[in-house]
Structure 1
Amino acid sequence: MEFQNLLIANKERIQYITINRESKLNALNKDTLAELHTAFAEAFQNPDVGGIIITGAGPKAFVAGADISEFAALDVEGGAQLSRKGHTEVFDLIANGNKPVIAAVNGFALGGGLELAMACHIRIASDNAKMGLPEVTLGLMPGYGGTQRLTQLVGKGKAMEMILTADMITAADALQYGLVTHVTTPEELLIKVEEILNKILTRAPLALAAAIRCINAAYTDGVNGYETEITEFGKSFGTKDFKEGVAAFMEKRKAEFKGE
């Protein structure tokens, strides 16, 4: 599929998804969200893709927020539908994906942009990044999972402060709060992200997917994360990758996983 708002590039087993609306600071309009749904659904199903890096075009913004102009005509039901569609088709799709997704956060990650980054499994930021959820300045509140994922990542108190004040934080703050795991210079950002993802991609693909499911289960209401772990751990013993991993360990060699 040819995208109008995204750039897709493959580098060995890594797929780059770049939001390409630099003149709009990569804001998330309906068309971009629809394309993100398609791009991620295809990447998760593509056997040649091991992991995904998502970033924004240009030096100014990862994603500066949602396209507010599309909100003006919405009523209560329209707003709820917008939120639900975004949750289901994009943000939850990414969070529950079967392959690791890393957000390379350059510049502004605000509102829906920060929510997009938080839906990813890992976030790495450049030292010029600014992050925040400013929705209350518009008479709104975060609607793409921000109240939930920010609380999970930084704790209730800091999430309350960030959302209620609408203040932006620096990359250094985000690192301190646990919102990102590394901070680099802008020039080194993608190098660092690739380094981490390439390390992940040397591990067993089915085990990675199972680990993602188990970690997510810890934050899913009505799901016993421990039982999920027990089940997924047991399933691992039925994979060819497990047999290869044990054989490689015993033979003191590097394992060659096939995702089987």
Structure 2
Amino acid sequence: MPHVALAKMAKQYGPVMCLKMGTCDMVVASTPDAARAFLKTLDINFSNRPPNAGATHLAYDAQDMVFAHYGQRWKLLRKLSNLHMLGGKALDDWAQVRVIELGHMVQAMYESSKQGEPVAVPELLTFAMANMIGQVILSRRVFVTHGEESNEFKDTVVELMTSAGFFNIGDFIPSIAWLDLQGIERGMKKLHKRFDVLLAKMIEEHTASAHERKGKPDFLDIVVANQDNSDGERLNLTNIKALLLV
């Protein structure tokens, strides 16, 4: 197991180690004090993530909150996310959504058991989580409606999550990334085109129905309203699409 191997190495070489992953350097912090040094004391020095195929081809060239470089735009993205989606008050405001979606998941498990069908727990958990996030961001359950378009969105989201977890050798040996030996980047580019069309249509429909959510704006409503913020940082449509990948 990787974590066991790293723990054994830390006992021999100390709490901070530099490992070679392909041709890339990777620093491992194995104690709370070492982790605190990287994540708190020196956090700005280590705030940017190294480039990889997923961030480039799926996250709009690293423009989402996870992969965006530290700066004014990232600060704005974090501020909006914390205030309206991830912060304590936001979590309290959307508590009922979590309760309802967990209820839907348990009901689906019950219906399957009544019919003697196997229950794919990981799949149900994924759908429940996606629906919770969908309610908070878009005021809609993304994995509930029927029809070709809904199925396409569902399949695309699952494919996106799967593709983001692929081991891509080009990420660890950048000099041969252009060869795309595994065909992963080619697949990511095709997937991104499909997902971009779906996101654009979703944002357009959502903007047109904004009047229906007055008094209870969702995350996308807040982001659109803050495209031009007081600090002079502007969020364009691409930034908003990337942020929705959270």
Shorter-chain TM-score range: under 0.3
Greater gyration radius: 2
Q: TM-score, normalised by structure 1?
A: 0.24
Larger helix proportion, structure 1 or 2?
2
Q: TM-score, normalised by structure 2?
A: 0.25
Structure with more relative contact order (C-alpha pairs < 8 Å, separation 6 or more): 2
